[in-house]
């Protein structure tokens, strides 16, 4: 039986190889026959006896209709190769129908124009005379045309209805554009005659357009194109390093003047004459939009158009009595009529009596970082912490101020532009702030995004000295850095209390008058919050809550980014303390509501298309984010690193010599410090018991209570026997640990006093 199966498979394979060889042979010889036939019919020289016989027979039979025979043969050959089938019957039927119709048509033309060189051959003459004897010459002509169309349809499978519809649409659009230009030109001439001069001012003369099917002229909607006002930046030479200042009389090396990066490190924006579609394209789209509204018996008109880099907003004003819901409900029908892959509706537009339909452009533009940094709206801002966001849907530049946000949440699906937004934010700050004005605490659990900024002088980490600072890459280090930053915040509050000021701006005005150094802003950027929440949710949430609630006035601001906008990552505590939010394209309406408390982010286009909800905005604003490449970031980081590394006073007192390292720092990624350990051990020794409720009542936080219990169990201070829910307390180990901690605390008191004198 196995032998029979193998034999059948072998025979089947042989038949398949034989079929392939047969098809290949037919194709090769058919192509050679096509070349030979084209030569004998079109060239007519050196045909040989066979060529003369074939060409003579074809011309005698079909007349002038014999010339397309090689083309039809070549098309059949191409179709056979594509579909791997010969389809000989289809070829014969289609060729005979087409050639017969052409021959009959040529015979008809020969009868009308006897002097013409056209001929239908014997077949054409027979078909024409036979049809003419029944239906007359006109009927024979129509019969011949029907045969031609039928033959072409069989051969080429032509979609006649779609072809006619497309041709009709092209002709109609061209006619509408021509009529709009004609009406606009006439309006300019009338305005020039009325003014008594030939100087036509387009901005003062309203443009008009002829509506389809309406002979009356109606005003064209106002097109608001943004006019870029670029600030000329002074040229900076990066070829040579700045001259080193001379040493002072007391031998101290003077402080080097820091240089901000030049704009030459960024790519020039693409040279585009206008932003968005042209006036003719807007006129055609306006007519389609109004025609669609009319088809649904909605009385509304387009009153304004705001072209942007990626989308164009059409402002639709409904007539009195028309409900907004009736227009919003047909958004999908409008998207179909406009051939748009996604439409966002803003109903109504804040501050206007119109509804906004944001329709994607056919040719989207990239918003470069340089064009926003050089725009007057951003470059002339008085705030040091201003950041470039991109361009609004109407094309105007979009910017914000970190210190006014005061904290920002960035969310979006993978590959939607979230990381580019974080880079744009950092680059904006690096172009405006010197290292003594702003510090960056960068936390990158993914280890691939923010590592480009390693070694820049703006880098900051309160738990280590400036010699050891770097981008934080692990969850345990992130917890320690944030908890150390909480201590920095508490120390700043004590200083503000002494100085009797309420925010960092007031303190920086007070400090020079009292021989004190100014404080710098601290911006914490976490590139992937979801990973940190997965590993150390309690400690991260506790630190974020304290920093966001108290850090604004102290110059501490947080930017949290995540690609998982779910409720277990963006918890109620985090969301309540981050009022400013940026949402890129997400996969569902639920994710959009988690971030923005509204729908809309699920209809974005991706690649930097985002919704920005500011602290004082009633509704999210659509923005096309700026793009900054990895090459540009590398150039900026190299320019900054060439001027020195991180430099800041160590703001958290160092542990005393001989103290146990794990107890003098946040331990095991659980956020337990030496002071908390000392207080907790003393409490347990006095009460002679331990529980989470006892620790929570003492420390005021269930997260801290859980962390301390975990540390106690890992250290061996407590244990839970198998089958029991009561903790066994090992007081001998607790007494030994208390003695060590109390000795280390007295040794560290002098160190802390020394660091308090230099803390800012």
CA angle 496, 497, 502 (to 5 degrees): 55
Residue 284 has pLDDT above 80, yes or no: yes
SS3 (DSSP) at 84: coil
Average confidence (pLDDT) over 486-504: 90
Its sign, for the CA torsion 359, 364, 370, 375, is: negative
**Same structural domain, 630 and 678:** no
Specify if 263 maps to a domain: no
**Same structural domain, 85 and 133:** yes
**Same structural domain, 319 and 409:** no
481 CB-near residues (< 8 Å, 6+ apart): 441, 443, 461, 462, 463, 472
Average confidence (pLDDT) over 496-519: 90
CATH number at residue 701: 1.10.10
Residue 16 has pLDDT above 60, yes or no: no
Least confident of 99-103, 459-463, 721-725: 721-725
Specify if 5 maps to a domain: no
Which pLDDT score, from 0 to 100, does residue 231 have?
A: 58
pLDDT tier at 423, thresholds 50, 70, 90: very high
Neighbour tally for 584: CB within 10 Å: 28
Q: Are the C-beta atoms of 95 and 79 separated by less than 8 Å? A: no
Specify if 503 maps to a domain: yes
Specify if 389 maps to a domain: yes
What whole-number distance in Å separates Cα of residue 556 and Cα of residue 504?
Answer: 9
The whole-angstrom distance between residue 134's C-alpha and the CA centroid of its chain comes to 69
Which pLDDT score, from 0 to 100, does residue 628 have?
A: 93
Query: Where does a domain end: 360, 392, 417?
Result: 360
SS3 (DSSP) at 562: strand
Query: Where does a domain end: 360, 395, 425?
Result: 360
Q: Are the C-beta atoms of 182 and 132 separated by less than 8 Å? A: no
Structure tokens at 650: 């160590």
The residue whose two tokens read 């010889």 is 29
CATH number at residue 476: 3.40.50.300
**Same structural domain, 313 and 383:** no
Q: Are the C-beta atoms of 615 and 580 separated by less than 8 Å? A: yes
Which pLDDT score, from 0 to 100, does residue 149 have?
A: 77
Distances (CA, A) of 558 to 404, 545, 679: 12, 11, 30
Residue 686 has pLDDT above 60, yes or no: yes
Specify if 214 maps to a domain: no
Residue 44 has pLDDT above 60, yes or no: yes
As for how many domains the chain has, the answer is 5
Q: Of 110-114, 382-386, 713-717, which one has max mean pLDDT?
A: 382-386
Specify if 430 maps to a domain: yes
SS3 (DSSP) at 386: strand
Query: Minimal CA–CA distance to 636: which of 443, 428, 473?
Result: 428
Q: Are the C-beta atoms of 399 and 381 separated by less than 8 Å? A: yes
Q: How many CA atoms lie within 13 A of 721 on its CB side?
A: 6
pLDDT tier at 684, thresholds 50, 70, 90: confident
**Same structural domain, 101 and 166:** no
What whole-number distance in Å separates Cα of residue 384 and Cα of residue 521?
Answer: 10
Distances (CA, A) of 259 to 233, 636, 663: 14, 12, 42
What whole-number distance in Å separates Cα of residue 43 and Cα of residue 625?
Answer: 62
What is the phi/psi pair of residue 389, to 5°? -95, -40
Query: Where does a domain end: 316, 334, 360?
Result: 360
Question: Could you list the residue range(s) of the whole structural domain that residue 684 is in?
Answer: 661-756
CATH number at residue 296: 3.30.980.40
Structure tokens at 142: 């129509």
Q: Are the C-beta atoms of 285 and 359 separated by less than 8 Å? A: yes
CA angle 301, 304, 306 (to 5 degrees): 140
**Same structural domain, 628 and 493:** yes
End-to-end CA distance of the chain: 91
pLDDT tier at 723, thresholds 50, 70, 90: low
**Same structural domain, 24 and 104:** yes
- CA dihedral 441→444→448→450, nearest 10 degrees, is -20
Which pLDDT score, from 0 to 100, does residue 632 have?
A: 93
**Same structural domain, 49 and 149:** yes
Which pLDDT score, from 0 to 100, does residue 82 have?
A: 66
Q: How many CA atoms lie within 13 A of 684 on its CB side?
A: 27
Q: Are the C-beta atoms of 520 and 436 separated by less than 8 Å? A: yes
Structure tokens at 109: 């033309």
Q: Are the C-beta atoms of 627 and 366 separated by less than 8 Å? A: yes
Burial code (b: 16+ CB inside 10 Å, e: under 16) for 314-342 equals bbbbbeeebeeeebeebbeebbebbebeb
Structure tokens at 302: 């387009």
Structure tokens at 176: 């509408």
Structure tokens at 321: 């009595």
What is the phi/psi pair of residue 621, to 5°? -105, 140
**Same structural domain, 147 and 167:** no
**Same structural domain, 190 and 332:** no
Query: pTM for the full model?
Result: 0.59
Specify if 265 maps to a domain: no
Query: Minimal CA–CA distance to 332: which of 320, 341, 319, 322?
Result: 341
Residue 144 has pLDDT above 50, yes or no: yes
Residue scoring higher pLDDT (33 or 558): 558
pLDDT digit string (tens) for 183-242?
777 766 765 665 544 343 334 434 444 444 443 445 667 777 766 555 555 444 443 344
Radius of gyration of the chain (CA): 40
Helix, strand, coil percentages in the chain from 3-state DSSP, rounded to 5: 50, 10, 35
Q: pLDDT exceeding 70 applies to what percent of the chain?
A: 78
CA angle 49, 50, 54 (to 5 degrees): 120
Between 69-83 and 88-112, two packed helices, what is the crossing angle to 10 degrees?
160
Q: pLDDT exceeding 90 applies to what percent of the chain?
A: 16
pLDDT digit string (tens) for 59-76?
777 777 777 777 777 776
pLDDT digit string (tens) for 164-197?
777 777 887 777 777 777 777 776 676 566 554 4
**Same structural domain, 665 and 551:** no
**Same structural domain, 416 and 284:** no
Residue 526 has pLDDT above 60, yes or no: yes
Which pLDDT score, from 0 to 100, does residue 431 have?
A: 93
pLDDT digit string (tens) for 657-679?
333 333 333 333 345 667 778 88
Query: Minimal CA–CA distance to 435: which of 455, 419, 458?
Result: 458
Specify if 474 maps to a domain: yes
Partner residues linked to 583 by β-bridges: 411, 611
């Amino acid at each position: 039986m196995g032998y029979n199966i193998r034999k059948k498979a072998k025979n089947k394979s042989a038949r398949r190889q034989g079929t392939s060889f047969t098809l290949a042979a037919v194709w090769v010889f058919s192509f050679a026959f096509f070349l030979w036939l084209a030569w004998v019919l079109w060239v007519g020289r050196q045909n040989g006896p066979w060529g003369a016989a074939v060409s003579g027979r074809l011309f005698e039979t079909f007349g002038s209709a014999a010339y397309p025979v090689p083309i039809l043969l070549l098309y059949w050959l191409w179709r056979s190769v594509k579909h791997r089938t010969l389809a000989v019957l289809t070829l014969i039927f289609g060729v005979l129908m087409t050639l017969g119709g052409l021959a009959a048509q040529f015979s008809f033309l020969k009868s009308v124009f006897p002097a013409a060189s056209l001929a239908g051959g014997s077949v054409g003459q027979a078909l024409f005379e036979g049809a003419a004897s029944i239906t007359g010459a006109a009927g024979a002509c129509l019969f011949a045309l029907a045969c031609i169309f039928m033959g072409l349809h069989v051969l080429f499978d032509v979609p006649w209805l779609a072809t006619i519809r497309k041709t009709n649409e092209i002709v109609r659009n061209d006619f509408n554009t021509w009529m709009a230009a004609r009406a606009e030109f006439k309006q300019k001439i009338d305005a020039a005659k009325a003014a008594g001069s030939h100087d036509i001012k387009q901005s003062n003369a309203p443009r008009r357009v002829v509506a389809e099917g309406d002979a009356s002229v109606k005003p064209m909607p106002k097109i608001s194109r943004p006019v870029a006002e670029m600030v000329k930046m002074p040229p900076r030479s990066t070829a040579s390093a700045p001259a080193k200042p001379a040493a002072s009389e007391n031998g101290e090396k003077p402080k080097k003047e820091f240089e901000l990066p030049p704009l030459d490190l960024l790519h020039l924006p693409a040279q585009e004459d206008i932003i968005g579609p042209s006036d003719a394209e807007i006129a055609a789209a306006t007519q389609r939009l109004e025609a669609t509204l009319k088809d649904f018996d909605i009385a509304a008109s387009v009153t304004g158009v705001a072209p942007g880099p990626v989308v164009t907003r059409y402002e639709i004003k409904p007539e009195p009595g028309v409900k907004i819901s009736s227009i919003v409900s047909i958004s999908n029908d409008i998207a179909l009529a406009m051939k748009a892959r996604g439409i966002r509706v803003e109903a109504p537009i804040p501050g206007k009596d119109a509804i906004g339909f944001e329709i994607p452009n056919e040719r989207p533009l990239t918003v470069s970082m340089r064009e926003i940094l050089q725009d007057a709206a951003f470059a002339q801002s008085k705030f040091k912490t201003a950041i470039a966001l991109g361009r609004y849907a109407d094309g105007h530049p979009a910017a914000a101020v970190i210190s006014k946000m005061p904290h920002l949440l960035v969310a979006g699906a993978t590959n939607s532009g979230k990381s580019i937004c974080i880079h744009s934010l950092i680059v904006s700050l690096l172009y405006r702030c010197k290292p003594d004005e702003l510090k960056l605490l960068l936390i990158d659990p993914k280890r691939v995004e923010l590592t480009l900024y390693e070694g820049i002088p703006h880098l900051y980490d309160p738990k280590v000295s400036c010699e050891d600072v770097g981008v934080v890459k692990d969850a345990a280090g992130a917890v320690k850095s944030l908890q150390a930053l909480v201590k920095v915040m508490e120390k700043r509050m004590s200083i503000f209390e002494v100085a009797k000021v309420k925010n960092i701006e007031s303190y920086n005005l007070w400090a020079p008058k009292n021989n004190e150094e100014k404080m710098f802003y601290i911006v914490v950027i976490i590139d992937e919050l979801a990973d940190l929440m997965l590993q150390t949710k309690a400690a991260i949430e506790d630190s974020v809550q304290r920093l966001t609630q108290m850090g604004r006035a102290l110059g501490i601001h947080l930017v949290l980014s995540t690609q998982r906008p779910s409720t277990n990552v963006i918890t109620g505590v985090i969301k309540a303390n981050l009022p400013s939010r940026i949402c890129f394209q997400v996969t569902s309406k639920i994710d959009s509501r988690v971030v923005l408390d509204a729908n809309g982010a699920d209809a974005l286009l991706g690649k930097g298309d985002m919704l920005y909800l500011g602290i004082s905005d009633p509704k999210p604003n659509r923005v096309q984010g700026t793009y900054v490449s990895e090459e540009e970031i590398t150039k900026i980081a190299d320019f900054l690193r060439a001027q020195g590394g991180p430099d800041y006073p160590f703001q958290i007192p160092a542990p005393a010599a001989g103290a146990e390292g794990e107890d003098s720092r946040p331990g095991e990624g659980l956020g337990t410090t030496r002071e908390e350990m000392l207080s907790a051990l003393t409490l347990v020794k006095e009460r002679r018991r331990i529980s989470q409720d006892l620790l929570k009542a003492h420390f005021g936080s269930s997260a801290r209570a859980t962390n301390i219990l975990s540390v106690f169990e890992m250290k061996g201070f407590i244990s839970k026997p198998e089958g029991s829910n009561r903790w066994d307390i090992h007081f001998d180990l607790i007494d030994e640990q208390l003695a060590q901690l109390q000795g280390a605390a007295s040794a560290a008191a002098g160190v802390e006093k020394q660091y308090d004198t230099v803390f800012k």
